[in-house]
């Protein structure tokens, strides 16, 4: 039985704070220690305070209360810790925070009995090369996006896979996503829905000038290279929509499968296709 759980939530969300209080009481009654960040722990009785960096080393599993943005932030902070994550949806669409409030306590009961269902999701590693030198390295669960600013002109991005030239994208940019990220920005840009445990990398152009530039799905074992061939200076690499890196002309962005993955605790009460039907309202008229 797990004895230590971490809770991550936004401290300015009253709904999340109240739920964290309920969960702390529920866990304490079952002799489970609850760890929260200092700012939140001060608001909740019988909770133990720690930093996010410390939390990953102390807990057996993590509960994230909020939306997908809160979960993506938590995944970044738990990188390399191999901590199973349970996402509870208090936000909007919530593909990653898939557990509803109605399911929460039945799922937690199974977790404490050692019956939790774990699903592993791949991440991507993105490296920025400038003048032959590595200037930045990041990991993402959803996507890495090369895009121009609102006022910038069309940009040219040369793409290669394992050293073989693919094409030069001319448009607003390109999205490189995991299967998990296929239901995020890539979907809005016309990309397909990819089953989340499929070992693959999805490349989706953003507003391509050539209509023949279509999304491309490649195996996760390849290395994908993008080179900014425009002289446009107002271009950025954005990681999971939360971290940004300014790019300069002729910078290279190398993308490959990350060495670590993310473990999600799945609900035993629904499958992925039920989630799609619910989120996209498939079948409704």
Q: Which residue has the tokens 């499929």?
A: 198
Is 68 marked active-site?
yes
User: Which residue out of 68, 172, 240, 251 is catalytically annotated?
Assistant: 68
Beta strands 33-37 and 4-9 are parallel
CA–chain centroid gap for 190, Å, is 19
Contacts of 58 (CB under 8 A, 6+ apart): 4, 6, 35, 50
3-state helix, strand, coil in the chain (%, to 5): 25, 40, 35
Task: Please name which of 114, 158, 182, 179 lies closest in space to residue 250, comparing C-alpha atoms.
Answer: 158
Strand order across the 235-239 sheet: 216-219, 200-206, 173-177, 143-148, 235-239, 243-247
Question: What's the Cα-to-Cα distance from 163 to each of 25, 38, 178, 225, rounded to whole Å?
Answer: 56, 47, 21, 8
Please give the Cα distance from 266 to 258 (Å, whole number). Answer: 22
Residues in the chain: 285
Question: Where in the sequence numbering do the catalytic residues fall?
Answer: 68
């Amino acid at each position: 039985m797990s004895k230590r759980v971490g809770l991550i939530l936004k401290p300015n969300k009253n709904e999340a704070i109240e739920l964290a209080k309920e969960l702390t009481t529920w866990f304490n009654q079952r002799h489970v220690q609850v760890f929260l960040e200092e700012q939140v722990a001060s608001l909740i009785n019988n909770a133990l305070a720690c930093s996010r960096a410390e939390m990953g080393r102390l807990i057996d599993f993590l509960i994230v209360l909020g939306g997908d943005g809160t979960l993506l932030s938590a995944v970044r902070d738990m990188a390399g810790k191999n901590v199973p994550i349970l996402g509870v949806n208090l936000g909007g669409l919530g593909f990653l925070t898939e557990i509803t409030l109605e399911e929460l306590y039945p799922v937690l009961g199974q977790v404490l009995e050692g019956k939790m269902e774990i699903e592993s999701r791949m991440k991507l590693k993105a490296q920025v090369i400038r003048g032959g030198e590595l200037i930045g390295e990041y990991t993402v669960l959803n996507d890495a996006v090369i895009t121009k600013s609102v006022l910038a002109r069309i940009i040219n991005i040369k793409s290669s896979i394992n050293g073989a030239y693919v094409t030069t994208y001319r448009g607003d940019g390109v999205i490189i996503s995991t299967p998990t990220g296929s239901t995020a920005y890539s979907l809005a840009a016309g990309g397909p829905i990819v089953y989340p445990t499929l070992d693959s990398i999805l490349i989706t152009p953003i507003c391509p000038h050539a209509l023949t530039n279509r999304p491309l799905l490649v195996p996760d074992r390849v290395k994908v290279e993008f080179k900014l061939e425009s002289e446009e200076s107002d271009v950025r690499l954005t990681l999971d929509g939360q971290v940004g890196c300014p790019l300069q002309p002729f910078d290279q962005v190398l993308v490959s499968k990350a060495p670590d993955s993310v473990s999600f605790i799945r609900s035993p009460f629904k499958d992925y296709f039920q989630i799609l039907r619910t989120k996209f309202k498939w079948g409704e008229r």
